[in-house]
Structure 1
């Protein structure tokens, strides 16, 4: 395959009058220029002076001798113009101005690139706005007057903005194009070189004037890369612009000046279209396609990404056979890990409260760059925040808990900065402090820090003089917009190995093997979105590009890639509802309908292979070490909750009690169910403890009711530590705890009107031995009994539950179900308490049950065996039989801890 550049050079070098040393090549991009130099070097055998090779932007700069300013700098300079023209009482702050000025500067750019008479254009635009919206309003309100004044001021903004820039020898891109179109004749008159214009397609009016002047003055040649299949089709968008140039340029009115076309598109090609779900699916299948390409062919292969979000997934999916890779598009700085750190710092800086919410602080401490610097100090500070349940932290608290290294690193960014300059200085200092000692071993991290330091210095320089930015919020917006345009460039050989690029970087370049990703509608082409004040009909009237022209640009790039390729793989995202996914591009449909005979694309739908997963339940053998741990637990005493955990899932028992694995401490923002339970239990213990072995009377309960709020608050502060309970969900839960206790005491008061109630003991810790002849070591059960009382002489064992419990949960039909079905865990618990109390003080009969605060109407719900609520010696013997059976199973080395299906 001969590339377009190679074909053109062969044609030029065959011309007798062609003088290479007196030639300037002009191409759409710097990358295309690099390829041209590389191919030219191969074509020339002897020594020769190299020609000048320029991109369009470099050529424009050479003609104008002006310095280009970027979009962000344009906005700052435009704001100074805005303040000069706009009366002081009507001036907006920079943040409001920034919202609309971006669009206006973009429109200025377009107007200049297309050489439009700005005064006439803006006059026309202001009249349209007047007619469309406000002309019939009489009298006009203050809002309408301001709106119309804004449109009338735009021409003045434009003129003064241009004037100020040119006085400083500066220009935004569009202005530079306009000036170049005015200076082109004088430039050519003083320059004897021939200009070779190579591989262009969509030209703005300024470029058209430049190129036509070059051609008409016989100072150069132009070479279009267009296939006859598109050029001869008057309806094909790929040739839309070139057909227009042939029709409208004076140069082509001479019959001797023609447009040369190629006939590569109809040559044999292998075109495959793949519908793949999600971006990761595209990345993985791209890797599979690459793994099937030989090393020799990889240097003739390019991956074209239409969605820059695929860059990282593809880099992480590359197969082993990729030895050399050149990435043209660069890694966006916003995609680097360091970007998330500064985003979090901006978040805490814009917090109006004096205290910081804990999550952003944890995010900072957990960030890889902070961890690399602080190590153990960061982990210790996080642990303290979790242990002390600090939902909100003051700067003083953070510094008091921090080590010296943490204070040095984070102290400055935790200050509440009042000015953007102060925060920017803190950011540059942080970049310096984060510098790694082993920078040579971590080049990528060092590169991130360097680029962010540069970014902050750039913004500092922008706002150094008479800064319009007065708030951190405005700075954050400027930072985000500047970050969008910054990227981390990769180094690599552009002529060797696999090439990875965006669609625009592929201009003028040709490859035998092409993989194009994200060929979805809305991505390629991009769709109808337009950030402009200029209405569609006005754009059409003045020849400004609309979404239709933008579609035609991408049509050309897409089909030009296919012209000389032999193997084409087109991937699109089939996932419906996802961003940039679901619908294949119209380009794919067009290929399917219009491709030359024999070159029709083969369409496949791909889905990742999901192997059938056999969910095998885990089994843990009881080793001698495990049995020793169980013996230690038995000697201390198995709690009812431990045994019911075993009944629910033996594997959970193994993790929690044998291995001792517990949930890690987390900051409890909202009061958890177990915390609420602890508060209610402890409050009731405080109220009832003084009345052990006493008869409760109404006056006692009335006194308790007056102390509910104070005691609940105390218990929350003790259990819930420093977390707030005076707002949000916590306030609701605080009120629920008060209501639970109030309702409980009210129910007690009602009951003691007719019944006698004596509190025997409250929150008593008990243990008792369980004699099991089959085991040669002691076994105990132990736990804390919430309350034991006598109601009308009947002994009652009471367990409080803040959750909802139904009477049926305590109604046992068959004793064998007690240790087999977790449904009866509540019955098992109260029987354990009854057995422990019987061991301490034998009784004739008792009732054991639950009071559920969520089901208080049910009152005391006793354990029942069929319909019998009495617990006597026979009942306890039956229970002990089941309990011993359970413990024997627990100690049986032949029965592993086996996971139960959920």
Structure 2
């Protein structure tokens, strides 16, 4: 395969051109590297290298202006804006930056296409007058300011461009305009200099004038790269601009048009793959490259063109390990590296001035991979200490003083991270720079293994130095929110360049980097509408019809640019793989590109079109089974000797694996900070409050005055127990305040129930409150002791009948404490767990001989208090009208004991594994 560059060099050689005296001008610097490599292949002798530059470098030389970054232009423009706008009508820099970016882009287009500035700005102003409120007699201040803005556009432009020119700097459009103005002088000064323009397509007016003038003065040659299939088809957009140049330039009336080729018609293998999602495309690119490598085809002439540059990282992670040589023309975005997330978090907490910080933000920052090591001093991990204190004290918000006390010897780091950035922007930037220095000192301890991290730091240090300079020179950044906006803008344009051999191995590049270059094998990704081409985006103040009138590019011209690049990649390639996303996504392209449809309709080549789906392995669910070993049995015996609680046994009934993790392995769930009071905390507070109220009355009959006294203590007791359980969590507002009031209402409603019972003449005697019971259970089949342990919420005597009561803050219905068949009580957790618990308490009380049978046992549900005491009942038969027996007798407990014994024997049986249940 011969390349366009090689053909150009051969043509120049055949015309006996002295290469050393040539100036090659290309659309990009990237193409210059390939040109320089191919010169020795054509010349075959030692010569001085010709000048090889990009068009941007050439026009800079012509204009005598230096290009500056977009962000620096914005600061310059704000100077103009403040000088030309009354103070009371000025936007802040943060607001200004939102619309000024669009206006700068319009200035750029107007200058690149050499549009008379005054006429177009006056035209825009007149349009606004007509479209809006100029006919109103009494215009509001807002309307006057709005129209005044449009009238000032020309004065903004004049002042801004004059300021830039005086400083010998400019934006791209201004540089092009000045280059066109200086062209006559350049031609007079360089009458013997020969220029070679190659690979150009869409040209702005300034470029057209420059190239045409050099051609007409015999100071240039130009080589176009267009195929006859496109240029001979008047409707094909791939040749839209080339046809215009060929037909409209006077030079080509007398001179040959170089070149129209016939490469596209040659045989090609074109495969089109529809693949779901971007990650699917990235993975499939890896598979394609592996296949190409396996076929022993060289990757030297292979390019992966990323239509969507966000695919870079997924593609790099999907490349086969067999690829040794790789060149990436796109940089790794700084916004994607871990250090960016740290500064995002810091800006997030400092955008608004605050005296306290949300605990998740604090943990997020001090746990960051670059920050955590800074808190390890003399072997003490102060970051862990802070996190543990937050968890144990339920701290939702922390101030800097509290953090300093916890950090102890890490106070300097705390100051850098959490001191108020809003005091001054200089201090905020200084904190960021000092933080980078601290991180660098830590990484320098093990420099060899931290080279990449140090590179990250270096680039971020450059970024903050740029922010310091901009703020020092212009002083437009007044608050952290504006600083964050400028930081994000700079960050979005910064990349970390990859190192590699640019002319060797597989090439991974964006669409624009492929200009002028040719590859034998091409893989193009993300060929979707909205990406290739980009669609009808119009980020401009200039209306569509005004653009047409002034011959400014619209979305049609931009689409034609993409069309040219796409088809040019296909011209000389032999093996072409086109990938598109089949999943509809309105934000990033919702359907396959029109380019694919056009390829299929043209029918110039045999096209293999497939929809590819990832291979999804069928994973059959497998039971989680833990076999019991001798060592495991030792742990179970130890647990049995300490005592099985009713809740642990119901946990086993619900799911044996949970019992194994929590009780045998003793794996506890991490206690997260409760921002909102959890249900179990509410339950604990209510239980503890009732214990506190009733514990002094054990062994006594309750009287009305007792309950009335209890009611007067509700507020103080509930508050005390909330502080004890909820630690330093905030109960003064929001959901927590509601839950606090609910707890008080639960206790109050319960006491109202007691009052009602006493007023009705019932006798209530408290026998026990929160009674801790541990009893030995006789199981002859086991050669080790088995104990039952638990805390009974309340035992009382109601009109001479003993009741065992379990409090539940959740809702419980009567049917949840009833059983029909005893064997069901240890098998169905959902239906019978409440019955199991109250019967276990009754059985323990029987074994401890603290109560006389028969007794009643049941639940008081605080969400169902109207039902009162929900008694356990044994139904004689199932179905409607079944007879219920609510008294628990010795016989009842004997029947229950058989099931309980069977359950415990199962837990202790080495031959019965712990098997997970579907919960």
TM-score by length of 2: 0.96
Aligned partners of 1:102, 1:439: CA distance in 2, in Å? 41
1:572 to partner: Cα distance: 1.1
Q: For 1:467-506, list aligned pairs within 5 A.
A: 467-506=475-514
- Does 1:824 pair with 2:841? no
Q: Secondary structure at the match of 1:634?
A: helix
Q: For residue 876 of structure 1, what is the aligned residue in structure 2?
A: 893
Q: For residue 225 of structure 2, what is the aligned residue in structure 1?
A: 225
Q: For residue 411 of structure 1, what is the aligned residue in structure 2?
A: 415
2:647 counterpart (641, 659, 663): 641
Q: For residue 131 of structure 2, what is the aligned residue in structure 1?
A: 132
The CA deviation string for residues 334-365 of structure 1, in whole angstroms up to 9 with x for no partner, is 11111111000001102343110011111112
1:296 to partner: Cα distance: 4.8
The unaligned stretches of length 5 or more in structure 1 are: none
Aligned partners of 1:372, 1:3: CA distance in 2, in Å? 53
Aligned partners of 2:606, 2:731: CA distance in 1, in Å? 68
1:807 counterpart (814, 821, 841): 814
Aligned partners of 1:589, 1:407: CA distance in 2, in Å? 63
1:590 counterpart (589, 593, 598): 598
Give yes or no for contact 1:843–1:872 (8 Å, CA) kept in 2: no
Q: For residue 321 of structure 1, what is the aligned residue in structure 2?
A: 322
Give yes or no for contact 2:530–2:590 (8 Å, CA) kept in 1: no
Aligned partners of 1:91, 1:889: CA distance in 2, in Å? 80
Q: 1:99 to 1:15 in 2, by over 3 A?
A: same
Q: For residue 44 of structure 1, what is the aligned residue in structure 2?
A: 43
Q: For residue 580 of structure 1, what is the aligned residue in structure 2?
A: 588
Aligned partners of 1:377, 1:584: CA distance in 2, in Å? 54
1:794 to partner: Cα distance: 1.0
Q: For 1:882-893, list aligned pairs within 5 A.
A: 882-893=899-910
Q: 1:341 to 1:78 in 2, by over 3 A?
A: same
1:684 to partner: Cα distance: 1.1
Q: For 1:429-468, list aligned pairs within 5 A.
A: 429-435=434-440, 436-437=443-444, 438-468=446-476
Q: 1:374 to 1:273 in 2, by over 3 A?
A: farther
The CA deviation string for residues 552-587 of structure 1, in whole angstroms up to 9 with x for no partner, is 110111111011111111111112247424411111
Aligned partners of 1:711, 1:520: CA distance in 2, in Å? 66
Tell me the matched-pair count: 897
1:626 counterpart (632, 635, 641): 632
Give yes or no for contact 1:390–1:667 (8 Å, CA) kept in 2: yes
Aligned partners of 2:60, 2:305: CA distance in 1, in Å? 29
- Does 1:751 pair with 2:768? no
Give yes or no for contact 2:403–2:414 (8 Å, CA) kept in 1: no
Aligned partners of 1:746, 1:353: CA distance in 2, in Å? 45
Aligned partners of 1:582, 1:781: CA distance in 2, in Å? 64
The CA deviation string for residues 716-751 of structure 1, in whole angstroms up to 9 with x for no partner, is 111011111112221221122122112111122112
1:864 to partner: Cα distance: 0.8
Q: For residue 720 of structure 1, what is the aligned residue in structure 2?
A: 726
Give yes or no for contact 2:400–2:414 (8 Å, CA) kept in 1: no
Aligned partners of 1:383, 1:316: CA distance in 2, in Å? 36
The CA deviation string for residues 74-111 of structure 1, in whole angstroms up to 9 with x for no partner, is 11111111111112232222122222211111111111
Aligned partners of 1:398, 1:225: CA distance in 2, in Å? 65
Aligned partners of 1:529, 1:743: CA distance in 2, in Å? 64
The CA deviation string for residues 277-304 of structure 1, in whole angstroms up to 9 with x for no partner, is 1111111111000001135521111111
1:827 to partner: Cα distance: 0.6
Q: Secondary structure at the match of 2:49?
A: coil
Bigger shift: residues 493-502 or 87-96: 87-96
1:379 to partner: Cα distance: 3.0
- Does 1:177 pair with 2:181? no
Aligned partners of 1:421, 1:535: CA distance in 2, in Å? 41
- Does 1:846 pair with 2:871? no
The unaligned stretches of length 5 or more in structure 2 are: 876-883
1:539 to partner: Cα distance: 0.8
Q: Secondary structure at the match of 2:857?
A: strand
Give yes or no for contact 1:278–1:581 (8 Å, CA) kept in 2: no
Q: CA RMSD in A?
A: 1.3
Q: For 1:26-175, list aligned pairs within 5 A.
A: 26-175=25-174
The CA deviation string for residues 617-647 of structure 1, in whole angstroms up to 9 with x for no partner, is 1111111111111111111110001111111
- Does 1:653 pair with 2:662? no
Q: 1:582 to 1:155 in 2, by over 3 A?
A: closer
The CA deviation string for residues 647-700 of structure 1, in whole angstroms up to 9 with x for no partner, is 111111111111111111211111111111111111111111111111222222
Q: For residue 858 of structure 1, what is the aligned residue in structure 2?
A: 867
Aligned partners of 2:594, 2:744: CA distance in 1, in Å? 64
Q: Secondary structure at the match of 1:402?
A: helix
The CA deviation string for residues 199-227 of structure 1, in whole angstroms up to 9 with x for no partner, is 01111111111111111111010001111
Give yes or no for contact 1:769–1:778 (8 Å, CA) kept in 2: yes
Aligned partners of 1:410, 1:606: CA distance in 2, in Å? 52
Aligned partners of 1:835, 1:578: CA distance in 2, in Å? 65
Q: For residue 247 of structure 1, what is the aligned residue in structure 2?
A: 247
1:188 to partner: Cα distance: 2.1
- Does 1:514 pair with 2:531? no
The CA deviation string for residues 361-412 of structure 1, in whole angstroms up to 9 with x for no partner, is 11112222223444644333222222221111111111211152x4333421
Aligned partners of 1:731, 1:553: CA distance in 2, in Å? 62
Q: Secondary structure at the match of 1:593?
A: helix
Q: For residue 386 of structure 2, what is the aligned residue in structure 1?
A: 381
Aligned partners of 2:737, 2:614: CA distance in 1, in Å? 48
